[in-house]
Chain A
Amino acid sequence: MRERCLRAIDLRGHPSPLYERTVEILPLAEAERGKCESVGICGAEVGSIRDIHRIPKGMLRVVRGGERGKNRAALEENIHMLACPYPFDYVMAGLAAKKNIGLEINVREIINASGVGRMRLLQNLHVTVSLALKYRAPLVITSGSRMGKEVKHPRVLVAFGMILGLDYPLSKSCIYHIPKKILEGVT
């Protein structure tokens, strides 16, 4: 008997039959050249707030955070998802909830980190998740896979959500309902 397959949408990953939809997120330069190969919606990631307006229309707008000021400025812009949402505070959580901006938890980053680096990453993500829960900000769990071998089963993404402090139903909604809602906002 096979385990019941989870419905899932991967907002940053390699196309796989395990997922209902997968979004390929490209760096801005490649997105501008139209290098997106996947069917459906593609995304573009920028590192700087100034480049947000350069992202072509109809694409998922993603900003790579990582610093407090940058995260805050990104959340005040018209974007769909914030990658690396740490350091995070209650003002940012309120903004993300108000503007329905997804806060990305990238499983690949956790897997590739090790030792103290992974400890700090999990610590930061714990804070992000607890604030997002308190202010009802949307959280999105993505696999971040770049090739077929790296693709993870949706159950693995749910498990990552659960070790960060989410419960099972909420963790499942972070891989299906919330990404679905974000994609509806793109089209």
Chain B
Amino acid sequence: MKSLPTLKHSKRYIAFSVKGAESEGRGEIKKAVFKTIMALLGECEASNANVHLISYTGGQGILVCNPEYVDKCIVALACMKKVNKVEVFVDVIGVFGMLEDAKEGARYG
């Protein structure tokens, strides 16, 4: 059932860049992101955080999450050290309220 517009959950889009794993695919990055989020937040908090990887291309990606968990998700991303046994350095480009802004931020970040 479609929910009322006033009952919709707001979202925040975190644009991030992964240095060292430009050749890795979206699946590998997704696996690594969820692994680090589960390690830092745990199952209960991760379910409340409502995290999804929206896009990942050329070493830059966008993660969507609940506004209350933005900081925890940023910390979890920063704590990501390895993707598919390759050492990576993750940095956050910015936090955005709209997907278009996040895409632009990721493009120029």
Flag if B20 contacts A149 (CB, 8 Å): yes
- CB within 8 Å of B: which A32-77 residues: none
Q: How far is the CA of A151 from the CA of B96 in the complex (A)?
A: 21
CB distance from B41 to the nearest CB of A (A): 10
Q: How far is the CA of A150 from the CA of B94 in the complex (A)?
A: 17
Q: Which residue of B lies closest to A145 (CB)?
A: B89
Q: Which residues of B contact A152 (CB under 8 A)?
A: 78, 91-92
Flag if B71 contacts A3 (CB, 8 Å): no
CB distance from A115 to the nearest CB of B (A): 8
Flag if B108 contacts A155 (CB, 8 Å): no
Flag if B92 contacts A110 (CB, 8 Å): no
Flag if A1 contacts B105 (CB, 8 Å): yes
Q: Which of B74, B75, B89, B96 contacts A3 (CB 8 A)?
A: B96
Flag if B20 contacts A2 (CB, 8 Å): no
Flag if B92 contacts A163 (CB, 8 Å): no
Flag if A155 contacts B95 (CB, 8 Å): yes
Q: Which residues of A contact B20 (CB under 8 A)?
A: 149
Q: Which residues of A contact B19 (CB under 8 A)?
A: 149
- CB within 8 Å of B: which A84-109 residues: 107
Q: How far is the CA of A150 from the CA of B20 in the complex (A)?
A: 11
Q: How far is the CA of A112 from the CA of B82 in the complex (A)?
A: 11
Count class of interface residues, chain B: 20 to 34
- CB within 8 Å of A: which B70-109 residues: 70-72, 74-75, 78-79, 81, 89, 91-96, 101, 104-105, 108-109
Mask for B1-43, Cβ within 8 A of A = 1, else 0?
0000000000000000001100000000000000000010000
Q: Which residues of A contact B105 (CB under 8 A)?
A: 1-3
Flag if B104 contacts A1 (CB, 8 Å): yes
Q: Which residue of A lies closest to B96 (CB)?
A: A3
Q: How far is the CA of A1 from the CA of B93 in the complex (A)?
A: 12
Tally chain A residues at the interface, Cβ within 8 Å: 20
Q: Which residues of B contact A3 (CB under 8 A)?
A: 93-96, 105
CB distance from B83 to the nearest CB of A (A): 14
Flag if A162 contacts B71 (CB, 8 Å): yes
Q: Which of B71, B81, B104 contacts A159 (CB 8 A)?
A: B71
Flag if B74 contacts A150 (CB, 8 Å): no
Q: Which of A2, A153, A156 contacts B108 (CB 8 A)?
A: A2
Q: How far is the CA of A163 from the CA of B74 in the complex (A)?
A: 10
Q: Which of A149, A155, A160, A162 contacts B89 (CB 8 A)?
A: A149
Q: Which residues of A contact B (CB under 8 A)?
A: 1-3, 107, 110-112, 114, 149-153, 155-156, 158-160, 162-163
Q: Which residues of B contact A (CB under 8 A)?
A: 19-20, 39, 70-72, 74-75, 78-79, 81, 89, 91-96, 101, 104-105, 108-109
Beyond A3-B93, A162-B71, list 5 extra A-B contacts (CB 8 Å). Answer: A1-B104, A149-B19, A150-B89, A153-B92, A155-B92
